[in-house]
């Protein structure tokens, strides 16, 4: 009887210790200042307008005519500026033109260089290896969720960063019926559901590294920028926190108290894995929060970014906030470059390419020297016809000449030349009076 009582007490003690271990909170409430990282800011800033540009490219090519009315661009995309300004800014990618049809509106199409890049990008994405890579990224995203399903609008926010096809529902999902199925999600409309759990994919990037290098326990690497100095008490807490057991993001750790150190490490593991699924190893904080709200994390993702500046970096460039995975970058360059990122860098090079403009180009509003409009079948023509331009130039030239004849007044140089001419006339008059001098002068 006494032995049974002792074993029961020991079991209670073990359970109590385990409960306290998983439900303690030791984070030091110290202010962690944000320090700018110019290299990671540059990595974010060089992709300015890239997402909108590629989305517009895909929308244009989705039309049968491979063209799109400029007025319809803003309706398809959320642009920080007007559609005309975006198109005019990248004449090496987009080409303005007017159809020969009467009452036609300005249209936009892709240049030959942009079409060539798109064909190469399509070959990469439609290759067997490319499709499997995209499908597995989407599978792992669904495996991060408790219900193994996500609303389509959440996936839409992340599809660019995950490297999914623009229309993944039609171009990717039907090719993998053993992986995905479209489902109804009550208040969220339609969603994408995982058909079966993939044990071979239920390993995070951190766990894969341990398999390869055999390091235990699993710790997050800390990469603080120059000038960043954590307080000693915060540094000590981070060291202890990093030695806590690593719980895979593909495990259900909802039993942990939400405000505990162990729960925070699991939250960091989920966010770390999400950024590793992104081809650029970064995404906007709005996308992270949207996914976090659906997963039940609330604002815990934001707190994780704030508490762990050695793992994540928050950039404020390009009119938004972007979460960057520090360990994935060496200065401003990715350590491992995905084939799709190589293509995106080529798009960036094309965006930065300068194009000479015709000085006689005229916009529909009458302003000149602004945009590269052209007519179908002609290159570098202005919006108004060449004959109209010539007629207007000739008429304006004659008007200017007639007005100049009436109002023109000689300037100082002309008066000086006129006086010099009168002086020479006087010399020749006197020489004419003396023929010998005239002959010797000649």
Q: Three-state SS across 76-104?
A: HCCCCCCHHHHHHHCCCCEEEEECCCCCC
Other Cβ atoms less than 10 A from the Cβ of 332: the count is 15
Q: In 116-232, at which residue ranges do the beta strands (DSSP E only) sit?
A: 149-151, 180-184, 190-194
- The whole-angstrom separation of Cα 192 and Cα 185 is 9
Mean pLDDT over all residues of the chain?
A: 79
What average pLDDT does this structure show over 43-52? 95
The total number of residues shown for the chain amounts to 442
- The whole-angstrom separation of Cα 285 and Cα 158 is 11
Q: State pTM to two decimals.
A: 0.76
Percent of the residues in the chain that have a pLDDT greater than 90, as a whole number? 53
The model's pLDDT over 294-339, given as tens digits with 9 standing for 90+, comes to 988 988 999 999 989 999 999 999 989 999 999 999 999 999 999 9
- The whole-angstrom separation of Cα 84 and Cα 104 is 16
- The whole-angstrom separation of Cα 366 and Cα 373 is 12
The model's pLDDT over 263-291, given as tens digits with 9 standing for 90+, comes to 999 999 999 999 999 999 999 999 999 99
The model's pLDDT over 94-140, given as tens digits with 9 standing for 90+, comes to 998 887 777 678 899 999 999 999 999 999 999 999 999 999 999 99
Choose between 80 and 430: higher pLDDT.
80
What average pLDDT does this structure show over 13-42? 64
| Domain range annotation of the chain | 357-394
Q: Is 114 within 8 Å of 94 (Cβ atoms)?
A: yes
Per-residue pLDDT, 9: 44
- The whole-angstrom separation of Cα 162 and Cα 46 is 19
Residues contacting residue 273 through CB under 8 Å, at least 6 positions apart: 140, 144, 204, 205, 206, 249
| Per-residue confidence band for 237, with pLDDT thresholds at 50, 70 and 90 | confident
Per-residue pLDDT, 31: 61
Strands 282-284 and 312-315, by their bridges, are unpaired
- CA 239 to each of CA 28, 157, 244, 247, 289: distance values in angstroms, whole numbers, following the listed order: 12, 34, 9, 17, 27
Strands 68-69 and 106-110, by their bridges, are antiparallel
- The whole-angstrom separation of Cα 439 and Cα 432 is 9
Q: Is 135 within 8 Å of 176 (Cβ atoms)?
A: yes
Q: Which of 14-18, 68-72, 300-304 has the lowest mean pLDDT?
A: 14-18
């Amino acid at each position: 009887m006494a032995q049974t009582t002792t074993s029961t007490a020991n079991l209670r003690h073990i359970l109590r210790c385990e409960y306290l271990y998983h439900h303690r909170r030791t984070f030091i409430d110290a202010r962690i200042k944000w320090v700018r990282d110019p290299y990671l800011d540059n990595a974010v800033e060089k992709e300015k307008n890239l997402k909108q540009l590629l989305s517009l490219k895909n929308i244009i090519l989705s039309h049968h005519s491979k063209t799109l009315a400029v007025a319809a661009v803003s309706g398809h995309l959320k642009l920080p500026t007007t559609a005309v300004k975006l198109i005019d800014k990248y004449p090496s990618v987009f080409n303005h033109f007017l159809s020969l049809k009467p009452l036609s509106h300005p249209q936009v199409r892709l240049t030959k260089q942009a079409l060539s890049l798109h064909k190469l990008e399509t070959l990469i994405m439609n290759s067997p290896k490319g499709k499997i890579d995209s499908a597995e990224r989407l599978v792992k995203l669904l495996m991060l969720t408790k219900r193994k399903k996500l609303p389509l609008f959440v996936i839409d926010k992340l599809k660019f960063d995950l490297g999914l096809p623009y229309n993944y529902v039609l171009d990717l999902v039907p090719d993998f019926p053993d992986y995905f199925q479209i489902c109804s999600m009550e208040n969220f409309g339609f969603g994408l559901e995982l058909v079966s759990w993939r044990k071979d994919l239920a390993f995070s990037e951190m766990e894969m590294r341990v398999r390869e290098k055999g390091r235990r326990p699993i710790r997050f690497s800390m990469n603080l920028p120059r000038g960043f100095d954590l307080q000693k008490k915060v540094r000590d807490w981070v060291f202890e926190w990093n030695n806590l057991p690593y719980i895979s993001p593909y495990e259900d750790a909802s039993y942990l108290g939400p405000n505990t150190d162990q729960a925070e490490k699991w939250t960091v593991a989920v966010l770390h894995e999400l950024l590793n699924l992104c081809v650029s190893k970064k995404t906007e904080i709005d996308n992270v929060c949207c996914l976090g709200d659906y997963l039940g994390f609330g604002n815990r993702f934001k707190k994780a970014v704030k508490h762990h500046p050695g793992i994540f970096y928050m950039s404020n460039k390009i009119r938004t906030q972007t979460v960057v995975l520090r360990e994935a970058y060496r200065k401003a360059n990715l350590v491992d470059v995905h084939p799709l990122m190589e293509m995106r860098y080529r798009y960036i090079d094309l965006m930065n390419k300068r194009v000479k403009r015709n000085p006689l180009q005229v916009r529909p509003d009458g302003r000149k020297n602004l945009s590269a409009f052209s007519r179908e079948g002609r290159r570098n023509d202005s919006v108004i016809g060449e004959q109209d331009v010539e007629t207007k130039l000739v008429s304006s030239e004659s008007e200017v000449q007639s007005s100049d004849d009436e109002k023109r007044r000689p300037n100082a140089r002309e008066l000086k030349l006129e006086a010099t001419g009168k002086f020479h006339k006087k010399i020749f008059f006197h020489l004419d009076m003396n023929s010998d001098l005239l002959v010797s002068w000649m």
